Every structure is written in C-alpha cells, then in structure tokens.
Structure 1
Amino acid sequence: MPPVAAAVSTREARRLETRARLFDAAVAEIGRTGLGGADVSAIARAVGVARGTFYFHFPTKEHVLAELQHSEEARIVAELEKRSSPPSLESALSDAVAEVLVAERRLGETIFREMLGLVFSSTRPAEAQLDEHPLADYVLGVLTRAQHEGALSASAQPRDMTVIFLNGMFALLTTLAASAGTRRKLLDQYVKTMVTGMEAL
C-alpha cells in the first residue's frame, strides 16, 4: 500500500475507533443520567478527547439514541429472521413484541425509555424516520405477506398499519408501569386487538 494510502487508512481507523468509543461512553452516560442529564463534557472526558470531538461525530445526543435504536432494531430483526415462519399473523406480531421486550431487558429501563421517548420527540433527528427502521421494514413485510395470503383484509394499507402498530406498541411500552407479567398480557391483548381490526377492515 502506498504511504499516503496507508496514512489515510490509519487515520480512518482511528476516527472510527474514536467514534465507537464516544458512542459507548454516550450510551453509558445516558443510561446513568437520562438523556436530559447526560453531559457531553463527561462523555468526552471518558474517552480522552475534546468536547468538540463528540459533536464532530454526533450532532446531538439524540443522534446517539437514534443510532442505538437502529442497531437494536437490526438485532431484533436478525433474531426474528432466524426462526421458522410463524403460523399466523398474530404469532408473528407477538414474536416481534417478545423480542422488543428482550431488548428492553438487555438495555435497561433508562436507556430503553429514553429511546422510546425519542420516537415521539420533536428533537428526533430528521433523518431517523420510522419507515427507515429495520423493525418497521420487518413488520411491513409480515403484513404484506399476510395480505397476499388472504389473512389480512384486501382493503388494509400495510404501511399505515405498520406505523399504527409500532407507534401503539411504543406508546404502551413507554406508559405501562405494571409488572412484567401484566405488561406482557396487556401487550398480547394489544396484538390480538390490532390483528382483529386489520382482519375486519
């Protein structure tokens, strides 16, 4: 490799390493203090860089959360796609809810709630739209297949139903302050109600 190319490659590797360390430090800080309390100076100190370096990589703290949400949704979808096809639309959506709950346990309550809150926040990065999310793409695929198989009403709009389903699920997860068992029962009922409504359209 020519010296100039090698230098560029080394510089890019360092940039990516710094970005990854800032991302991890920011997630840890948000997990400790919440998004509003997260201190960018503390994040930068934890990585040993100047405060401005954080903003070079992430325009806002919300960008960190949006990126975390995208990676978590990609992980959820990867887990769902490992399974054989569920026998029904209700089973498929219930499986999606179950994997979201696994993500909640993995991330911890503070990070998870901040991430969900960002879905409905006016400060959500403009480029992080719902229809660009792996989980939205997965649910849209489930609903589209169900419609082709005759399990979903021909008059249903899969894209609209995807937005309604996910926003409703996120809202319930944000507001339900019940035990884990009770929350799961309520979410199962939500899935059943949604499926019944889509079938009845």
Structure 2
Amino acid sequence: MAANALSDAPPTAREIRRRETRARLFEAAVAEIGRSGLNGADVSAIASAAGVVRGTFYFHFPTKEHVLVELERNEEVRIVAALGDPATTSLESMLADLVRETLTSERRLGPVVFRDMLGLHFSSTRPAEDELAEHPLAEFVVTAVSAAQASGQVAPDVDPAEIALFFLTGLFALLATGAHDSHHADALLRRYATTIVKGVQTR
C-alpha cells in the first residue's frame, strides 16, 4: 500500500523542473541534429538552446546517440498506434501500411534526423539494447506474423521474431541509404514487403 501511495503521489516541483529541462534538451538536440547531422551536432549549442550548461545535457543523455534512440522509440509507438490491430488485415497489407507510416515519420522529422536515426542500427556507436520490448515496432511485427500464422497465411515453421528482424533490418537499410528517393521508390518498397510475405507464406 505504501509503495502504491508513493507511486500515485503528484510529482514534486523539483521533478517537474527536471522533466521540463529534459524535454527542452531533447527538442534542442533533435533540432541541432536536423541542422548539422549527428556527427556535427554541437552539445554546447544544444545546452545553450535549452538554457542550461553543457554538463546538464550529459546528466540527461549520456550521448547524442541516446537522443536518437529515444526519438526512434517515440516514433515507433506512434506508428504502432496508427497501424491498429494486426489481426484485422492481411500480413502484406499490414507491412505496406507500416512502410507508409515510416515514410510519414521521415516527413515529420526531416531527412537528416531520419537517416541518422536509422543509420544507428548499423553503427557501433548505437547504445546497447537487449529487450524486444524496447522496440515497439519489432514487437508489433512479431505479433502480426504470429496472427498471420494462426490464420494459416504463414507457414507454421516460421519464426515470427526472425521474420520481424529480417523485415525491419532490410527496411531500415533501404531507407537509411536513400533507396526510396528514386523515381521507382514506391514500387521498390511495395516489392520489398511483398517479397518478405511470399517467402513465409503457407505452401
């Protein structure tokens, strides 16, 4: 009871200030990365824009990469919410919708932030993560493949987690390298989603 009472207590003024400072730093960091790219982003400029000293940035974010990892997680949560229940549509349609919502994220974030964010998946500087729950989009694709498997669309010997990894890694690689900027981008991404589905369909 005591633990629940503590967790339900309103945040203190100090905690509110801490959250506000972190939010300002996050927004300033995303804006700076959008201007200069991840490598060129200046932590001092980020801190100055947020109205704090440089050390405060590192109190909230160990590295600039941590900002993009958090941004990506926020975007994944938004995409999953927009996609709805994966059991209500075919796997191919769901993957096509996922691609469309991911491209919507690029338009919202801008190409520099978007590509640096996805590029972290292939970088040695990406902060370590080890739980599927840390990746809402991967968890969603696993659920979608499992639902398709239960309905007979997908072969019973397919590993949903493995397919989610293959699909998202390939998609992120295509988008991070700008393959979707070509005149044939829509056809390329549709073909990619279709190829993944055909590879796991029940025969």
Contact 1:23/1:64, CA 8 A, preserved across alignment:
yes
Contact 2:26/2:67, CA 8 A, preserved across alignment:
yes
Matched, 1:198 2:200: yes
Contact 1:66/1:128, CA 8 A, preserved across alignment:
no
* Structure 1 unmatched ranges of 5 or more: none
Matched, 1:79 2:92: no
Aligned residue for 1:120? Answer: 122
Aligned residue for 1:29? Answer: 32
Matched, 1:52 2:41: no
Tell me the amino acid that sits aligned with residue 29 of structure 1: E
Contact 1:144/1:158, CA 8 A, preserved across alignment:
yes
Structure-2 separation of matches of 1:78 and 1:181: 30
| Equivalent pairs, count | 195
Q: Could you say if the C-alpha distance between residues 178 and 137 of structure 1 is closer, same or farther in structure 2, counting changes exceeding 3 Å?
A: closer
Aligned residue for 1:91? Answer: 93
TM-score, normalised with respect to structure 2: 0.89
Identity score, percent: 57
Matched, 1:68 2:71: yes
* Structure 2 unmatched ranges of 5 or more: 1-8
Structure 1 residue 175: Cα displacement: 1.9
Q: Could you say if the C-alpha distance between residues 45 and 124 of structure 1 is closer, same or farther in structure 2, counting changes exceeding 3 Å?
A: same
Aligned residue for 1:149? Answer: 151
Structure-2 separation of matches of 1:94 and 1:65: 24
Q: Deviations over 1:50-109 (max 9, x none)?
A: 1000000000000000000000000011111179922x2111111111110111111110
Q: Deviations over 1:90-132 (max 9, x none)?
A: 1111111111011111111000000000111111111376662
Q: Could you say if the C-alpha distance between residues 140 and 195 of structure 1 is closer, same or farther in structure 2, counting changes exceeding 3 Å?
A: same
Q: Could you say if the C-alpha distance between residues 119 and 152 of structure 1 is closer, same or farther in structure 2, counting changes exceeding 3 Å?
A: same
Q: Could you say if the C-alpha distance between residues 122 and 139 of structure 1 is closer, same or farther in structure 2, counting changes exceeding 3 Å?
A: same
Tell me the amino acid that sits aligned with residue 53 of structure 1: T
Aligned residue for 1:165? Answer: 167
State which of 15, 18, 25 in structure 1 corresponds to 2:18. Answer: 15
Tell me the amino acid that sits aligned with residue 185 of structure 1: A
Q: Could you say if the C-alpha distance between residues 165 and 83 of structure 1 is closer, same or farther in structure 2, counting changes exceeding 3 Å?
A: closer
Tell me the amino acid that sits aligned with residue 112 of structure 2: T
Aligned residue for 1:137? Answer: 139
Structure 1 residue 198: Cα displacement: 1.0
Contact 1:176/1:183, CA 8 A, preserved across alignment:
no
RMSD: 2.1
Structure-1 separation of matches of 2:180 and 2:74: 27
Contact 1:62/1:123, CA 8 A, preserved across alignment:
yes
After superposing the two structures, state which structure 1 stretch, 143-152 or 173-182, moved more. 173-182
TM-score, normalised with respect to structure 1: 0.90
